[in-house]
Structure 1
Amino acid sequence: MRTQPPITCNVATTHRPPAAPPFSPEGDKRPWGVWAAIFTIAVLLVAAFTAVEWDFSSLTDPDQRRLALGRMWSWMAAFRHPDFSPEFLRHSWALTLQTLSAAVIGTFLAIIAAILLALGSSRAVSVGEENLKGWRRDFPLRRPAALFCSLCRIIQDVLRAVPDFVWAVILVAIIGLGPLTGALALALNITGILAKIYSELWDSVDEKSYEQVRASGAGRLTALFYGIGPLAARSVQSFTLMRAECAIRNAAVIGAVGGGGLGSDIWYQIQFGAWSKVTTLLLFTLALTLSADLVSNFIRRQLRSDSNHPRAVRTGSLFRQLARSYVAVGVALAIVGWSFWFMGWGNNAPPGQERRNFLLPAVELVSGEAWRNISFFERMLQPEIDLAAVGIGDADEVEARRAAGTSVNLFAEYGPLSAWRPAAWRAWEEELSHWFGWRVIKSAAVPLAMALVGTLLGVAAAGLLSYPHSFSFMWESSHFTGESPPWWLKLLRRLQMVIARLTGLISRGVPEVMWAFLFISFFGPGLLAGMMAIAIHSTGVLVRVFSESIDNIPYRRFEQSFSGSRAACFGLVAVPVAWRDWLTYSFFQFEANVRTAVVLGIVGAGGLGFQFSFNFEWFRFEKAATYLMMIIALTIIIDRISRLLRFSRVSR
């Protein structure tokens, strides 16, 4: 990943003033994108609190607050005594292995599919170098390769726009319940996410960095293998590991909608109020996600390639370096092989249940037998737009709607020049409510509001935690400060780091859906519970990548600018160097949180996700398809905004 040039404080004095830098039109450009982003976020934040109904009565009303606190204490008291009986421990362990195998298989399939899709959606690979500027560079019909690239980007947009929970709801109707449903749902969603990340990372590599490869006559694929790929390998590995961790967290809860594993049993036990069993299952879930987090940290450290970094892994020979890589790949393939064996032929059933081959539905899917269950898909290809309500379509139907008073007559009472009057907006909204399409659009405000407010709270909390969370500033600051602190001060700093990292681990180790279950039990269903779940989980995810971007900065940059205060060095040097990475990670998290907010709607937060699930389960497939289109449109719009404001770090 590219970072900003270091900010240095040169204390040396000279007799001559430094020469003025040469004129650079590129350097004189104002950072309009940053100010546009701040203005956009401010407007959206105001809209988030005005476009939807927030219920803060459980926090502001004394009686409601007392009831919420009472439910909180009752919930905590019920979870004091988990079920640690040997039989249920074996039951939980079997479900944990189901969850792990589903996550591994889903991630493995997604990596393969994402690489193939990224080959087409990466402009550097599929289109190559172009001298076009402005709108012509983004016009898809200028070349067949550019059109193919645009189509691949649309496919990846659709795949990642539909959350894994929604994919699971659809796949249950095709292949039924089970861990394979969860694995395929994860694979479809992660394919879109990784394809976007891979293609953007490849496109972010400066063409000058691999121009020697192209000058030798190499084609675009050869340039990818020997130029673009190696230069972007570290970032690709980092994002892949991060998505693998997310897959394990999502696999732990996707069973709530039919994906099997821990999630299905947690949802089952919650419905019966068996809180002691729920506690045990939650502990297994937390142990699984935290173990994946720690393993991922270890792999990241092994892959560190900066030989000047104090924590880089040093090997004495090229053979040992290659051996470490081959061992890592071998272990990963062994885990994948075990996952397929366990799901198909291993002892994958909890005690008291019969072992099943969960891979059989995949055979039916390939052979075509499962496609007999997809008759509903034809109806989903005919989404209900309700154009008659706005005077478009069959004349008789349009006239019937007008006669019944259910058509939209937007300016019947107030004209366009009355936009300054609040009463006009209320009248317009009442008229638009007659149109089903407007109700679909309005339902999208709920996940957007939850995601926006939750992400901003998560970014703020992660920014505050990143300083005590940083290994560089809490554990190894003496490498660039030159200080020799006493033992008790070292202990205090390391204790702060342990507490901050434990907070981050728990925050991101518990999936958002489980946080939502917790807050719903406190405050009841609604936006508040969903927003708090997103904020806490985002804090854990972002504080990790924020501190990693700080810890990856070479210590010589801190040494050049250190002025006696570690906190000042962090705020004035480390943050300005890493802020572009922070901005990118924050926007990626916001996009992920929009999908998460749709999922939370399915489990009780309302809005777009609830409406899709409700209409799909009640066989109103035309209406469900319209809500699904809105879900996809949200992600595509957010992605295009990120490219326009260069949040994606792509210059192509």
Structure 2
Amino acid sequence: MTTVLERPPVLRPARDRARLLCGLGAGALLLWSLAGSGVLGGPVLNPAGVGQLTRFAAGALHPDLSGELLGVLARATLVTVAYAVLGAGLAVALGALGAVAAARTTWGRRRAGWVAVRGALAVPRGLHEAVWGLLLVGVLGLDPWVGVLAIGVPYGAVTARVFADLLDEAPHGGYEALRAAGAGAGVAVLYGLVPEASGGMLSYAFYRLECAVRSAVVLGLIGAGGLGQELALSFTSLRWEQVWSAVYALAALCLLADVAGRAVRRRVAAPPPRATGRRDPVLTGAVLATAALALWSAWFLALRPATLVDGRTLDQLGTLLRAAWPPAGDGPLLSEIAVRAVETVQMSVLAIAVAVAGSLVLAGVAARAPRGTGAVRWAAGAAVRAGLLLLRAVPAPVWALVFVFVLLPGPLPGALALGVHTLGVLGRLSAEAVEELDPRPVAALTALGAAPLGRWLYGVLPGVARPATAFALYRWEVALRDTVLVGLLGAGGLGVLLSARLAAFDWPAVATVLAATVLLTLAVDLVGARVRAVLR
């Protein structure tokens, strides 16, 4: 007698269902964003601008290398570096101070206090550095503190959140011993967790310095000086040879920051063996050199701390706050904010979709090939990495102006500009994820005779998909903030409305638009955090 055993039904776990729902939701969100951009219906191309785009591209082969322009760019580069170093230094200082208050460990079971601190940090980081710059100009005028604070304040809130997460994830043995000995929560975090998390904090501090270089360039586009201002002036006058000279200078500066920051992060992640108790001389030298550079930057920009607390500054701040309170709440304004908020979300979704698709295609080629690889593969990887560097070195507003040549005005040029710029960032991160993959699956597929496409689909893509998705969700919040920046140039979204209200000095409406921007950023952050938790 033969017994036939029926296979029990396969039940999909709740996590798999949640991942499926996230995938379906992402697809629906993308289709909705495409429909809102006008791609699925109606004309979007501007054929009249093809000639201008051709001249712009041709300028890449003939940059202006005259001594006069190179001298101007050298001076502008120093201004950009000074703003970046001081802004990043201020951000790290503020982040270190706020991390203890923002750490979940500090609050224990008092969740309400932790939520309140995290909510307070969402306000400064919810506004783009360019928005901070425009607001600070109204208080400080054209003082160099504008550029430093515009970078330091929002970056400080971001750094505090990241540092707090590092504290929460650090080994808690020392913290628990101090608490058992009667130390307060704050003291125990300071002496029991900070030393354990110091390596990760140092690594992130140098990463934030890399980001500050790009932010300093963006601030230059709104008049803060430096390479961004020279780039904007050349672009406005349609001097494409000078534009490309500034672009190449930007790329060189970003490359230097990337290489230095990456070397420090690798040193932190895999320190060389050394005698117990001795500091790493390379990391110590990097910290001391950065501190010296910060002192030089303060001298170069002629910063005066007294400017922040003098009578004029305080009077201007009080006048601005009184003018903006209470925020406007009339129906027509709220309706326009709702429409522009929809445009903002759609632009950010399209930007991330473009960046993710491009990064997955290019990540395998951009990853540094192992030793012994042929010259063609090495050259292709170097070319793609250089292209990604160029994409992220050029600010998104400049890409928006380029796309306006061949696309009709509206949200689409801004979305593609953000997508191209974000591709430069995600492409690099995805390439690094490919470099860190276990090489054995690819080697096995190669031994079995699999084609390059098969090796990529079955040996690389499954391993890089999860970190690439996590990176994309982190960058979604950044892209949402950046939509305000391109919107200030007329590319759609809340930035258009903010620009119009700032031009009219309608401060109550400005306050309402800024509040809507912060809330929208916070909502995207919460959605991204939830999706990341599902994907773990």
The equivalent residue for 1:502 is 386
Distance 1:30 1:265, change over 3 A: closer
Partners in 1 of 2:209 and 2:263 — Cα distance?
14
Structure 1 distance, partners of 2:327, 2:391, is 39
| Selected match of 2:66 from 63, 71, 85 | 85
Matched, 1:301 2:279: no
AA partner of residue 240 (structure 1): A
Q: Aligned partners of 1:151 and 1:49: how far apart in 2?
A: 36
Summarize the Cα distance change of 1:546–1:592 in structure 2 as closer, same or farther, 3 Å threshold: same
Whole-angstrom CA distance in 1 between matches of 2:535 and 2:173: 20
Q: Are 1:99 and 1:179, in contact at CA under 8 Å, matched by a contact in 2? A: no
Instruction: Name the CA shift for 1:106/1:43 in 2 (closer, same or farther; >3 Å).
Output: same
**Structure 1 residue 229: deviation in Å?**
4.4
Q: How does 1:472-487 map to 2 (within 5 A)?
A: 474-476=369-371
Residue 324 of structure 2: aligned partner = 380
Deviates more, 1:362-371 or 1:634-643: 362-371
Residue correspondence of structure 1 range 16-95 to structure 2 within 5 A? 29-51=14-36, 53=38, 64-65=46-47, 67-77=48-58, 81-95=62-76
Distance 2:521 2:254 in 1: 26
Question: Counterpart of 2:6?
Answer: none
* Contact 1:168–1:258 (CA under 8 A) maintained in structure 2: no
Determine if contact 1:177/1:260 at 8 Å carries over to the other structure: no
Measure the CA separation in 2 of the matches of 1:530 and 1:563: 45
Q: Which residue of 2 aligns with 1:467?
A: 364
Q: Distance in 2 between matches of 1:177 and 1:300?
A: 35
The alignment partner of 1:251 has SS state of helix
**Cα drift, residue 635 of structure 1:** 0.8
Q: Distance in 2 between matches of 1:507 and 1:558?
A: 29
- Corresponding letter in the other structure for 2:34: F
Kept after mapping to 1: 8 A contact 2:84/2:216: yes
Moved more, 447-456 or 375-384: 375-384
Match for residue 483 of structure 2?
Answer: 597
Question: Which has the higher mean CA deviation after the structures are superposed, 71-80 or 258-267?
Answer: 71-80
AA aligned opposite 2:474: F
Q: Deviations over 1:528-564 (max 9, x none)?
A: 2212211111111012112223333466787799864
Change (3 A) 1:578 1:280: closer
Residue 15 (structure 2) pairs with residue 118 (structure 1): no
Asked if 1:285 is matched to 2:250, the reply is: yes
Q: How far apart, in 1, do the equivalents of 2:423 and 2:468 lie? A: 13
1:584 correspondence with 2:470: yes
Report if the CA contact (8 A) 1:612-1:627 is conserved: yes
Q: Which residue of 1 aligns with 2:107?
A: 127
Give the whole-Å Cα distance in 2 for the aligned partners of 1:57 and 1:238.
48
Deviation at residue 303 of structure 1 after TM alignment: 2.6
Aligned pairs for 1:362-401 within 5 A: 362-374=305-317, 375-386=319-330, 389=331
Aligned to 1:490: 374
Q: Which residue of 1 aligns with 2:344?
A: 447
Q: How many residues align?
A: 520
Q: 1:178·1:260 contact (CA, 8 Å) conserved in 2?
A: no
SS where residue 162 of structure 1 aligns?
Answer: coil
Aligned counterpart for 1:515 among listed residues 379, 383, 399? 399
Cα RMSD of the aligned pairs, angstroms, is 3.1
- The question of whether the paired residues in 1 share the 8 Å contact of 2:91 and 2:152 is answered with yes
- Identify the residue that residue 22 of structure 1 maps to in structure 2: none
Q: Which residue number in structure 2 is paired with residue 185 of structure 1?
A: 150
Contact 1:98 1:179 in 2 (8 A): no
Deviations 1:258-291 (A, max 9, x none): 3222222333343344444333333322222222
Conservation of the 8 A alpha-carbon contact between 1:55 and 1:528: no
Q: Give, as a single letter, the amino acid of the residue that structure 2 aligns with 1:127.
A: W
* Cα pair 1:55 1:526 within 8 Å, conserved: no
Deviation of the 1:318 alpha carbon = 4.3
Larger radius of gyration: 1
CA positional deviation for 1:53? 4.7
TM-score normalised to structure 1 length: 0.72
Residue 455 of structure 2 corresponds to residue 552 of structure 1: no
Distance in 1 (alpha carbons) for counterparts of 2:23 and 2:198: 32
Tell me whether 1:609 sits opposite 2:495 in the alignment: yes
1:336 aligns with 2:321: no
CA distance in 2, matches of 1:504, 1:82: 20
Cα deviation, residue 302, structure 1: 2.7
Alpha-carbon separation, structure 2, partners of 1:567 and 1:50: 32
Residue deviations 1:471-524, cap 9 Å, x none? 2xx224xxxxxxxxxx7x522322232122122211212221222222223435
Q: Which amino acid aligns with 1:587?
A: L
CA distance in 2, matches of 1:298, 1:112: 22
| Structure 2 segments unaligned to the other structure (5+ residues) | 1-10
> In the TM superposition, what is the alpha-carbon distance from 1:175 to its structure 2 partner?
0.9
Stretches of structure 1 lacking an aligned partner (at least 5 in a row): 1-24, 131-142, 306-312, 345-358, 390-434, 477-486
Alignment partners' CA distance in 1, 2:311 and 2:18: 49
- Following the alignment from structure 2 to structure 1, what is the Cα–Cα distance between the partners of residues 279 and 300? 32
Q: Look up the SS of the partner of 2:409 in the other structure.
A: coil
Kindly indicate whether the alpha-carbon contact (under 8 Å) linking 1:182 and 1:258 is maintained by their aligned counterparts in 2: no
CA distance in 2, matches of 1:212, 1:577: 35
- Matched-pair contact (CA < 8 Å) for 2:175–2:193: no
Cα distance in 1 for residues equivalent to 2:459 and 2:188: 36
Q: What is the CA-CA distance between 1:627 and the residue it aligns to?
A: 1.1
* Aligned counterpart for 2:82 among listed residues 101, 109, 116: 101
* Deviation for aligned residue 1:297: 2.4
Shift of 1:317: 3.8
**Alpha-carbon offset, residue 256 of structure 1:** 2.3
Q: Deviations over 1:276-315 (max 9, x none)?
A: 433333332222222212222222333332xxxxxxx644
Distance 2:297 2:16 in 1: 48
Q: Which amino acid aligns with 1:367?
A: D
Alpha-carbon spacing, 1:184–1:551, altered in 2? closer, same or farther (3 Å)? same
1:242 is matched with 207
Going from structure 1 to structure 2, the CA distance change for 1:557 and 1:211 (only over 3 Å counts) comes to: farther
